[in-house]
Amino acid sequence: MFAVYATHAALDDPLSALKVGERPDPDVPEGWVRVKVSHASLNRHDLFTLRGLSGHPEGICYPIILGNDAAGTLDDGTPVVVYPVMGGTDWRGDETLDPQWHIPSEFVDGTFADYTIVPRRNAIPLPGTLSPLHASVLGTAWLTAYRALFTRSGLRAGETLLVQGATGGMATALIQLGRAAGFEVWVTSRSEEGRARARALGAHESFPANEALPRRARAVIDSIGLDSWAHGLSSLARGGTPVTVGGTTGFEVPLNLLPVVADQLTITGSIMGTLKDMEDMMRLIARAGVEPEIGAVLPMERAEEGFRAMWEGRTHGKTVFTR
């Protein structure tokens, strides 16, 4: 079948490991289903896979088909969206706490292909309120944004949320969901274009990256890491919550414990979300009339253009590949 895959790890030149071509059709294990992919969205995780960066100590087994997220149809024609978090068959409860959890393109082939396979429970029937295009962006960045906001940040409606970064898939999801939830949404961006886009999407205020803010926020959600972490900590009100969901510019950050102690900050990590989080988010999006921001739609054959734009920092919102 047609697929977009990583041939090897290429830390400094990830596009050299990107291949668009043929891969074997997947076998479908008992209890799994095959999804004919119509839409699949790009995540920075796909660049990490090309670079050989993995959160799992086992590492990545190449070649591997890329892609975490997808929408498409089952063999019986049912339209579905993929919930990406898979794990041990015996695990019960919060999927993100399962020691064996993983997402497509880590231990099993990913979604940038004619077909992808997932455990049956991971194929969520698509409600009529959601198009496959918009559903295809929800699995990773949007799900993570939802959990960070509603489970991990402790924010209540009316309180101030600071989102670090404005243009990315995660940042745009945080802006749109935060606005729908009634938070005051503040954003930072490296560019005036990013700040203007954030305001157009619903941010109440936008500021240049690392600039001092007029007052302090109740929570900061940060996916940038090294370049923004210190600014986020210094932007928090007493009792506030810095939530880290990623480290695009590096995971190793300087940490001054004094404000953590004196301001009683609760440093919090957040990753992906539960199946229930995903279903709740789909309901919220439908009821609040949120349409996820999509910056580019490309036929999957032209995936390299989308990867290159992300590597060079030229994307905004989500990039979706169609089949």
- Amino acid code (one letter) for 104: P
Q: What x/- string results for residues 232 through 271 when contact with ligand NAP is judged by CB under 6 A?
A: -------------xxxxx--------------------xx
Tokens describing residue 288 = 């609040």
Q: Does 179 bind ligand NAP (CB under 6 A)?
A: no
Residue 40, φ and ψ in degrees, nearest 5: -145, 135
Q: Does 189 bind ligand NAP (CB under 6 A)?
A: yes
Q: Cα–Cα distance between 117 and 250 in angstroms, integer?
A: 32
Q: Does 272 bind ligand NAP (CB under 6 A)?
A: yes
Residues in 282-321 that interact with ligand NAP by CB under 6 A:
310, 313, 315
For 18-62, give the DSSP string: EEEEE-PPPP--TTEEEEEEEEEE--HHHHHHHHT--SSTT---S
Nearest Cα to Cα of residue 176 among 168, 63, 235, 272: 168
Select the residue interacting with ligand NAP from 19, 34, 39, 44 (CB under 6 A).
Answer: 44
Nearer to ligand NAP, 22 or 279 (CB): 279
Nearer to ligand NAP, 123 or 224 (CB): 224
Q: Does 49 bind ligand NAP (CB under 6 A)?
A: no
Contact 173, 142 (CB under 8 A): yes
Q: Cα–Cα distance between 119 and 273 in angstroms, integer?
A: 16
Residues in 135-174 that interact with ligand NAP by CB under 6 A:
140-141, 144, 165-171
- Amino acid code (one letter) for 35: V
Binding site for ligand NAP (CB under 6 A): 43-45, 140-141, 144, 165-171, 189-191, 194, 209, 223-224, 227, 245-249, 270-272, 310, 313, 315
